[in-house]
Structure 1
Amino acid sequence: MPTVSAWYRIAGVVLIGVASMLVAVIVYSAKERSKHQAMAMAMTGGDPALAPPIFRRYGCGGCHTIPGIPGADGKVGPPLQGLSQRVYIGGVANNSAENLVAWIVMPQQFSPNCAMPATGVSAAEARHLAAYLYAH
Protein backbone atom coordinates (compact mmCIF):
# COMPACT_ATOMS: atom_id res chain seq x y z
CA MET A 1 0.00 0.00 0.00
CA PRO A 2 1.43 3.41 -0.97
CA THR A 3 2.42 5.81 1.77
CA VAL A 4 0.75 9.15 2.36
CA SER A 5 3.63 10.99 0.70
CA ALA A 6 3.28 8.71 -2.36
CA TRP A 7 -0.42 9.64 -2.56
CA TYR A 8 0.51 13.33 -2.44
CA ARG A 9 2.96 12.84 -5.29
CA ILE A 10 0.35 10.97 -7.34
CA ALA A 11 -2.21 13.69 -6.62
CA GLY A 12 0.33 16.34 -7.63
CA VAL A 13 1.04 14.62 -10.94
CA VAL A 14 -2.70 14.26 -11.63
CA LEU A 15 -3.30 17.94 -10.79
CA ILE A 16 -0.48 19.03 -13.07
CA GLY A 17 -1.94 16.91 -15.87
CA VAL A 18 -5.43 18.34 -15.40
CA ALA A 19 -4.05 21.90 -15.24
CA SER A 20 -2.08 21.32 -18.44
CA MET A 21 -5.19 20.09 -20.23
CA LEU A 22 -7.20 23.10 -19.04
CA VAL A 23 -4.52 25.48 -20.28
CA ALA A 24 -4.50 23.71 -23.66
CA VAL A 25 -8.30 24.01 -23.94
CA ILE A 26 -8.21 27.71 -23.02
CA VAL A 27 -5.44 28.43 -25.53
CA TYR A 28 -7.28 26.48 -28.25
CA SER A 29 -10.53 28.35 -27.50
CA ALA A 30 -8.77 31.71 -27.64
CA LYS A 31 -7.19 30.82 -30.99
CA GLU A 32 -10.56 29.72 -32.38
CA ARG A 33 -12.23 32.96 -31.20
CA SER A 34 -9.42 34.97 -32.75
CA LYS A 35 -9.76 33.06 -36.02
CA HIS A 36 -13.54 33.62 -36.11
CA GLN A 37 -13.06 37.30 -35.36
CA ALA A 38 -10.46 37.72 -38.12
CA MET A 39 -12.71 35.97 -40.64
CA ALA A 40 -15.68 38.13 -39.61
CA MET A 41 -13.61 41.29 -40.01
CA ALA A 42 -12.37 40.21 -43.45
CA MET A 43 -15.89 39.32 -44.60
CA THR A 44 -17.59 42.50 -43.42
CA GLY A 45 -14.95 45.19 -43.26
CA GLY A 46 -16.16 45.90 -39.74
CA ASP A 47 -14.68 45.68 -36.27
CA PRO A 48 -16.59 43.53 -33.76
CA ALA A 49 -15.06 45.46 -30.86
CA LEU A 50 -16.95 48.58 -31.96
CA ALA A 51 -20.35 46.84 -32.05
CA PRO A 52 -21.50 46.69 -28.39
CA PRO A 53 -22.16 50.42 -27.99
CA ILE A 54 -23.86 50.50 -31.40
CA PHE A 55 -26.19 47.66 -30.37
CA ARG A 56 -27.04 49.62 -27.22
CA ARG A 57 -27.44 52.98 -29.01
CA TYR A 58 -30.02 51.60 -31.42
CA GLY A 59 -31.79 49.39 -28.88
CA CYS A 60 -31.21 46.14 -30.79
CA GLY A 61 -31.34 44.16 -27.54
CA GLY A 62 -34.92 45.27 -26.95
CA CYS A 63 -36.02 42.91 -29.72
CA HIS A 64 -33.15 40.43 -30.01
CA THR A 65 -31.10 38.27 -27.69
CA ILE A 66 -27.50 39.06 -28.60
CA PRO A 67 -24.66 36.95 -27.16
CA GLY A 68 -22.19 38.93 -25.09
CA ILE A 69 -24.32 42.08 -24.92
CA PRO A 70 -25.60 42.65 -21.36
CA GLY A 71 -29.33 43.30 -21.29
CA ALA A 72 -29.86 42.20 -24.90
CA ASP A 73 -32.53 39.67 -24.11
CA GLY A 74 -35.41 40.71 -26.35
CA LYS A 75 -37.96 38.17 -27.49
CA VAL A 76 -39.56 40.03 -30.42
CA GLY A 77 -37.02 39.10 -33.09
CA PRO A 78 -34.95 35.95 -33.35
CA PRO A 79 -31.88 35.41 -31.16
CA LEU A 80 -28.78 36.52 -33.04
CA GLN A 81 -26.37 33.87 -31.82
CA GLY A 82 -24.98 31.48 -34.40
CA LEU A 83 -25.86 33.81 -37.27
CA SER A 84 -22.85 32.65 -39.28
CA GLN A 85 -24.35 29.13 -39.34
CA ARG A 86 -27.66 30.19 -40.87
CA VAL A 87 -28.57 29.86 -44.52
CA TYR A 88 -30.90 32.88 -44.64
CA ILE A 89 -31.17 36.28 -43.02
CA GLY A 90 -34.69 37.13 -41.99
CA GLY A 91 -35.87 33.99 -43.73
CA VAL A 92 -35.57 35.65 -47.15
CA ALA A 93 -32.03 36.78 -47.99
CA ASN A 94 -29.04 34.51 -48.59
CA ASN A 95 -26.67 34.79 -45.66
CA SER A 96 -23.79 36.89 -46.93
CA ALA A 97 -21.92 39.77 -45.35
CA GLU A 98 -23.31 42.28 -47.86
CA ASN A 99 -26.88 41.06 -47.36
CA LEU A 100 -26.51 41.17 -43.58
CA VAL A 101 -25.21 44.74 -43.69
CA ALA A 102 -28.02 45.76 -46.05
CA TRP A 103 -30.60 43.97 -43.86
CA ILE A 104 -29.42 45.80 -40.75
CA VAL A 105 -29.63 49.17 -42.55
CA MET A 106 -32.99 48.62 -44.31
CA PRO A 107 -34.68 45.23 -43.83
CA GLN A 108 -37.74 46.31 -45.83
CA GLN A 109 -35.73 46.15 -49.06
CA PHE A 110 -35.71 42.36 -48.60
CA SER A 111 -39.07 41.89 -46.91
CA PRO A 112 -41.45 44.88 -47.11
CA ASN A 113 -43.74 43.59 -44.34
CA CYS A 114 -41.09 42.37 -41.91
CA ALA A 115 -41.46 43.35 -38.27
CA MET A 116 -37.95 44.82 -38.06
CA PRO A 117 -38.15 48.57 -38.55
CA ALA A 118 -35.79 50.77 -40.53
CA THR A 119 -33.06 51.06 -37.92
CA GLY A 120 -31.29 54.31 -38.73
CA VAL A 121 -28.01 52.40 -38.52
CA SER A 122 -25.47 53.61 -41.09
CA ALA A 123 -23.77 51.18 -43.45
CA ALA A 124 -20.46 51.71 -41.61
CA GLU A 125 -22.09 50.92 -38.25
CA ALA A 126 -23.87 47.93 -39.79
CA ARG A 127 -20.50 46.51 -40.87
CA HIS A 128 -19.33 46.55 -37.23
CA LEU A 129 -22.59 44.88 -36.12
CA ALA A 130 -22.30 42.25 -38.85
CA ALA A 131 -18.69 41.54 -37.90
CA TYR A 132 -19.75 41.06 -34.29
CA LEU A 133 -22.62 38.75 -35.21
CA TYR A 134 -20.46 36.62 -37.51
CA ALA A 135 -17.72 36.44 -34.86
CA HIS A 136 -20.15 35.21 -32.20
Structure 2
Amino acid sequence: MATVFIVVASAAFVTTSVVRHNHTRAAIARVMTGGDPGRAPAIFRRYGCAGCHTISGIPGADGQTGAPLTELSKRVYIAGVLENRPDNLVAWIVSPQRFSPQTAMPQSGISEQEARDLAAYLYAQ
Protein backbone atom coordinates (compact mmCIF):
# COMPACT_ATOMS: atom_id res chain seq x y z
CA MET A 1 0.00 0.00 0.00
CA ALA A 2 2.82 2.40 0.87
CA THR A 3 4.52 1.67 -2.47
CA VAL A 4 1.34 2.54 -4.38
CA PHE A 5 1.06 5.80 -2.44
CA ILE A 6 4.67 6.70 -3.23
CA VAL A 7 4.18 5.95 -6.94
CA VAL A 8 0.95 8.00 -7.10
CA ALA A 9 2.50 10.88 -5.16
CA SER A 10 5.58 10.85 -7.40
CA ALA A 11 3.44 10.88 -10.54
CA ALA A 12 1.40 13.79 -9.17
CA PHE A 13 4.58 15.72 -8.37
CA VAL A 14 6.01 15.16 -11.85
CA THR A 15 2.71 16.13 -13.51
CA THR A 16 2.47 19.30 -11.40
CA SER A 17 6.07 20.19 -12.21
CA VAL A 18 5.52 19.71 -15.96
CA VAL A 19 2.33 21.78 -15.93
CA ARG A 20 4.07 24.55 -13.97
CA HIS A 21 7.04 24.48 -16.38
CA ASN A 22 4.76 24.68 -19.44
CA HIS A 23 2.77 27.54 -17.88
CA THR A 24 5.99 29.44 -17.15
CA ARG A 25 7.26 28.94 -20.72
CA ALA A 26 3.95 30.17 -22.13
CA ALA A 27 4.02 33.25 -19.87
CA ILE A 28 7.57 34.09 -20.94
CA ALA A 29 6.66 33.57 -24.61
CA ARG A 30 3.69 35.96 -24.23
CA VAL A 31 5.96 38.68 -22.85
CA MET A 32 8.65 38.08 -25.48
CA THR A 33 6.30 38.21 -28.46
CA GLY A 34 3.20 40.12 -27.43
CA GLY A 35 1.22 37.12 -28.67
CA ASP A 36 -1.16 34.56 -27.24
CA PRO A 37 -0.04 30.95 -27.81
CA GLY A 38 -3.61 29.76 -27.20
CA ARG A 39 -4.77 31.34 -30.46
CA ALA A 40 -2.01 29.72 -32.53
CA PRO A 41 -3.49 26.27 -33.29
CA ALA A 42 -6.44 27.80 -35.17
CA ILE A 43 -4.11 30.20 -37.00
CA PHE A 44 -1.79 27.35 -38.03
CA ARG A 45 -4.81 25.53 -39.49
CA ARG A 46 -6.32 28.63 -41.14
CA TYR A 47 -3.15 29.45 -43.07
CA GLY A 48 -2.18 25.86 -43.89
CA CYS A 49 1.14 25.93 -42.00
CA ALA A 50 0.75 22.25 -41.14
CA GLY A 51 0.88 21.33 -44.82
CA CYS A 52 4.56 22.25 -44.97
CA HIS A 53 5.78 22.13 -41.36
CA THR A 54 5.87 19.64 -38.53
CA ILE A 55 4.52 21.55 -35.53
CA SER A 56 4.60 20.09 -32.04
CA GLY A 57 1.16 19.83 -30.44
CA ILE A 58 -0.79 20.50 -33.65
CA PRO A 59 -2.68 17.39 -34.84
CA GLY A 60 -1.88 16.59 -38.46
CA ALA A 61 0.99 19.08 -38.62
CA ASP A 62 3.49 16.71 -40.13
CA GLY A 63 4.46 18.49 -43.34
CA GLN A 64 7.89 17.78 -44.77
CA THR A 65 8.38 20.70 -47.21
CA GLY A 66 9.42 23.33 -44.67
CA ALA A 67 11.67 22.97 -41.67
CA PRO A 68 10.14 21.33 -38.60
CA LEU A 69 9.06 23.99 -36.11
CA THR A 70 9.68 21.81 -33.06
CA GLU A 71 12.05 23.29 -30.48
CA LEU A 72 12.39 26.50 -32.49
CA SER A 73 13.38 28.38 -29.33
CA LYS A 74 16.63 26.38 -29.18
CA ARG A 75 17.78 27.33 -32.68
CA VAL A 76 20.30 30.05 -33.49
CA TYR A 77 18.75 31.06 -36.82
CA ILE A 78 15.31 31.36 -38.35
CA ALA A 79 15.23 29.85 -41.85
CA GLY A 80 19.02 30.00 -41.86
CA VAL A 81 18.99 33.75 -42.49
CA LEU A 82 17.82 35.63 -39.38
CA GLU A 83 19.03 35.63 -35.80
CA ASN A 84 16.45 33.79 -33.70
CA ARG A 85 14.73 36.67 -31.91
CA PRO A 86 10.99 37.26 -31.45
CA ASP A 87 10.94 40.38 -33.65
CA ASN A 88 12.73 38.52 -36.44
CA LEU A 89 10.41 35.52 -36.19
CA VAL A 90 7.32 37.73 -36.44
CA ALA A 91 8.80 39.62 -39.40
CA TRP A 92 9.72 36.34 -41.12
CA ILE A 93 6.22 34.91 -40.70
CA VAL A 94 4.62 38.07 -42.09
CA SER A 95 7.00 38.58 -45.01
CA PRO A 96 9.50 35.78 -45.64
CA GLN A 97 10.47 36.98 -49.14
CA ARG A 98 11.71 40.25 -47.65
CA PHE A 99 14.55 38.31 -46.04
CA SER A 100 15.00 35.47 -48.51
CA PRO A 101 13.56 36.17 -51.98
CA GLN A 102 14.02 32.54 -53.09
CA THR A 103 12.30 30.98 -50.06
CA ALA A 104 9.57 28.43 -50.70
CA MET A 105 7.56 29.92 -47.83
CA PRO A 106 4.64 31.78 -49.36
CA GLN A 107 3.41 35.27 -48.59
CA SER A 108 0.33 34.20 -46.64
CA GLY A 109 -1.35 37.49 -45.83
CA ILE A 110 -1.04 36.75 -42.13
CA SER A 111 -1.34 39.79 -39.85
CA GLU A 112 1.38 40.90 -37.49
CA GLN A 113 -0.77 40.00 -34.46
CA GLU A 114 -1.43 36.53 -35.83
CA ALA A 115 2.32 36.14 -36.41
CA ARG A 116 2.91 37.21 -32.80
CA ASP A 117 0.49 34.52 -31.64
CA LEU A 118 2.31 31.89 -33.73
CA ALA A 119 5.69 33.06 -32.42
CA ALA A 120 4.41 32.87 -28.83
CA TYR A 121 3.28 29.29 -29.43
CA LEU A 122 6.56 28.26 -31.03
CA TYR A 123 8.66 29.81 -28.26
CA ALA A 124 6.44 28.22 -25.58
CA GLN A 125 7.06 24.69 -26.92
Same fold, judged at TM 0.5 (above): yes
Q: CA RMSD in A?
A: 0.6
Match of 1:121 in 2: 110
Work out which of the two has the higher radius of gyration on C-alpha atoms and give 1 or 2.
1
Q: Can you list the C-alpha shifts for 1:28-57, whole angstroms capped at 9, x where unaligned?
A: 000100010001000000000011111000
Number of aligned residue pairs: 125
Match of 1:32 in 2: 21
Q: 3-state SS of the aligned residue for 1:118?
A: coil
Is 1:53 the counterpart of 2:38 in the alignment? no
Q: Can you list the C-alpha shifts for 1:61-118, whole angstroms capped at 9, x where unaligned?
A: 0000111111111000011010000000000100000000000001111111111111
Give the percent of matched residue pairs that are identical in Structure 1 and Structure 2. 56
5+ residue gaps, structure 1: 1-11
Query: What is the TM-score with the length of structure 1 in the denominator?
Result: 0.90
- The one-letter code matched in structure 1 to 2:17 is Y
- Alignment partners' CA distance in 2, 1:102 and 1:46: 13
5+ residue gaps, structure 2: none
Is 1:77 the counterpart of 2:66 in the alignment? yes
Q: 3-state SS of the aligned residue for 2:106?
A: coil
Query: What is the TM-score with the length of structure 2 in the denominator?
Result: 0.98
Q: Which runs of 4+ in 1 moved over 3 A?
A: none
- Alignment partners' CA distance in 2, 1:50 and 1:39: 16
